Structure 1
Amino acid sequence: MKTGRLEAFSDGVLAIIITIMVLGMSAPEGYTFDALKPILPVFLTYVLSFVYVGIYWNNHHHLLQAVNRVNGKILWANLNLLFWLSLFPFATDWMGKNHFEANPTAIYGVVLFMAAVAFKIMVYCVILSEGKNSNIGKVYSKDKRMNLSLLLYFTGVVFSFFFPIISLMIYLGVALMWIVPDPRIERTLKD
């Protein structure tokens, strides 16, 4: 199977996820800038989550540009990724509305961790299908950034029970690591 339907379906789901996240925010009752202070954590959490959904969309797009064909394993791996990404609105809403308390911050980190695991599984399924010498195999066979991200997410979850603000800094740091898509895929496709 070609990748077109998989990409279109995934794009639609990601658009819905972003829509649900923004609908979870509501304007304050007051009209002064002081009225915005109580909802600042909600807004900041939304921004972080929006960036993460954008990162996943971007990397998903790059990944599928290097894939020749998809099979059942890749389709199920993609659904697994979309499942974890679909939990972003819940985790975003809970953490933002509870001003970065320990449990919501931990759950947010678990969702980030599981989405990263799901992306890694999808990459693994693609490499199984395309081969280790394929474009994706060359780029992702030993991806240190992906493994470091998993370690940092896990660390963030642990820290959330003691110092939630450190967890937020870790989550932000991982997002900054991924904000620029992997240039190796584009270089590999040009060669």
Structure 2
Amino acid sequence: MNKGRLEAFSDGVLAIILTIMVLELKVPESADFESLLELFPVFLSYILSFIYIGIYWNNHHHMMHSVSKVNGKILWANLHLLFWLSLVPFATGWMGENHFAKATLTVYGAMLLMAGVAYWILQSIIIKSQGQNSILKKAVGKDWKGLSSPPLYTLGIILSFFNEWLSGAVYIFVALMWLVPDRRIERVIGEQQ
């Protein structure tokens, strides 16, 4: 099957997720800086989640660029990833509205962990369907960022029971780790042309 519909659908879902998140930012009723300051936790959680959605969109885009065709397993694995990402607006809003309370950081971390696992599943299914000599398999290699993210999310979840600041710092660290552009797929595709 052609991968175009999967890419278009995924892009649309991610765009809707971003739209829902920004619509959750409520305009203050008063026109002073103090009212804006009250929204600071909500805005911080929005920024973090916007970065995470951007990271997933970017990596998904590159991963799909390496795929020649899709099958039913890939479609379902992609839906699995989109399911967890669709929970980002809920977890983001809850976390921001409650000023990064322990329970909200736990749920946010669980959502990040499950999205990371879902991404790994999708990547593994693509590699299996495309073969061990596929572009994606060559590009992924050891994948230290992909392998280190789930344990870090788990650490963030555990820390959320004890210290909100450390838990949040772990989630921010993982996002910053992924912000560094990853050009492995671009490099492997360039080598094959």
TM-score range for the pair, normalised by the shorter chain length: over 0.9
TM-score by length of 2: 0.96
> Which amino acid letter does the alignment assign opposite residue 63 of structure 1?
M
> Which amino acid letter does the alignment assign opposite residue 34 of structure 1?
E
SS in 2 for 1:28: coil
Aligned partner of 1:70 in structure 2 is 70
Distance 2:51 2:70 in 1: 27
Aligned length: 191
Q: Deviations over 1:58-116 (max 9, x none)?
A: 00000000111111110000000000000000000000000000001110000001000
Aligned partner of 2:98 in structure 1 is 98
Distance 1:170 1:94 in 2: 18
Query: What does residue range 63-142 of structure 1 map to in structure 2 within 5 Å?
Result: 63-142=63-142
1:176 pairs with 2:176: yes
Aligned partner of 1:157 in structure 2 is 157
1:145 pairs with 2:145: yes
SS in 1 for 2:39: helix
Structure 1 regions of 5+ residues with no counterpart?
none
SS in 2 for 1:152: helix
Asked whether the equivalents of residues 132 and 141 of structure 1 are also in contact (C-alpha less than 8 Å), the reply is no
Distance 2:71 2:150 in 1: 26
> Which amino acid letter does the alignment assign opposite residue 80 of structure 1?
H
TM-score by length of 1: 0.97
> Which amino acid letter does the alignment assign opposite residue 186 of structure 1?
E
Asked whether the equivalents of residues 123 and 140 of structure 1 are also in contact (C-alpha less than 8 Å), the reply is no
> Which amino acid letter does the alignment assign opposite residue 77 of structure 1?
A
Distance 2:151 2:24 in 1: 30
Distance 1:165 1:118 in 2: 26
Structure 2 regions of 5+ residues with no counterpart?
none
Asked whether the equivalents of residues 91 and 111 of structure 2 are also in contact (C-alpha less than 8 Å), the reply is yes
Aligned partner of 2:52 in structure 1 is 52
RMSD: 0.9
Deviation at 1:16, TM superposition (A): 0.4
Distance 2:130 2:27 in 1: 48
Q: Deviations over 1:161-189 (max 9, x none)?
A: 11111111111111111113421100000
Distance 2:123 2:104 in 1: 29
SS in 2 for 1:48: helix
Asked whether the equivalents of residues 41 and 99 of structure 1 are also in contact (C-alpha less than 8 Å), the reply is yes
> Which amino acid letter does the alignment assign opposite residue 121 of structure 2?
I
Asked whether the equivalents of residues 140 and 184 of structure 2 are also in contact (C-alpha less than 8 Å), the reply is no
Q: Deviations over 1:119-161 (max 9, x none)?
A: 0000000000011111111122531211101111010000011
